[in-house]
């Protein structure tokens, strides 16, 4: 369905997988359909994703954590301002954590101090 290192806009991703447009984890009917992340906000993407502490962002991370067998395409862009994402591979959620040490490490890596709720660990499939 997707070609590695081919650019896709969010609209193209939405057309292909469905779900909402402006979110890092588009979903439909409580099922995560894709992951759309920036390296600027998630320096270890796609293996580690740093979920922010806004209520909608937290809820998406928690929804993903309840779907350990769900395999979904992951798209990466370098900067938040970039318009195109690049398909990397298919992934599933290994686990999420709000452990203080993991959050502190993620804050230091991303520069997002006191803005993170979870670290999401993804496994390629």
Task: For residue range 11-46, list pLDDT tens digits in order.
Answer: 999 999 999 988 999 999 999 999 999 999 999 999
Residue with tokens 């359909």: 33
pTM for the whole structure? 0.94
* Structure tokens belonging to residue 69: 């067998």
- Between the alpha carbon of residue 47 and those of residues 16, 42, 93, the distances in Å are 23, 9, 9
Residue extents of the structural domains in the chain: 7-124
Q: Judge if the upstream peptide bond of residue 53 is cis by omega within 30 degrees of 0.
A: no
pLDDT at 49 over 90: yes
CATH class of 7-124: mainly beta
Q: What is the 3-state secondary structure (H, E, C) of 54-103?
A: CHHHHHHHHHHHCCCCCCEEEEEECCCCCCEEEEEEEEEEEEEECCHHHH
């Amino acid at each position: 369905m997707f070609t590695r290192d081919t650019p896709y806009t969010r609209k193209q991703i939405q057309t292909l997988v469905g779900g909402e447009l402006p979110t890092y984890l588009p979903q439909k009917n409580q099922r995560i359909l894709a992951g759309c992340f920036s390296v600027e906000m998630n320096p270890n993407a796609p293996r580690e994703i740093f979920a922010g502490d806004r209520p909608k962002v937290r809820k998406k991370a928690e929804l993903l954590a309840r779907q350990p067998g769900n395999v979904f395409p992951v798209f990466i862009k370098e900067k938040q301002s970039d318009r195109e994402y690049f398909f990397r591979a298919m992934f599933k959620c290994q686990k999420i954590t709000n452990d203080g040490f993991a959050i502190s490490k993620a804050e230091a890596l991303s520069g997002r101090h006191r803005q993170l709720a979870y670290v999401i660990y993804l496994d390629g499939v």
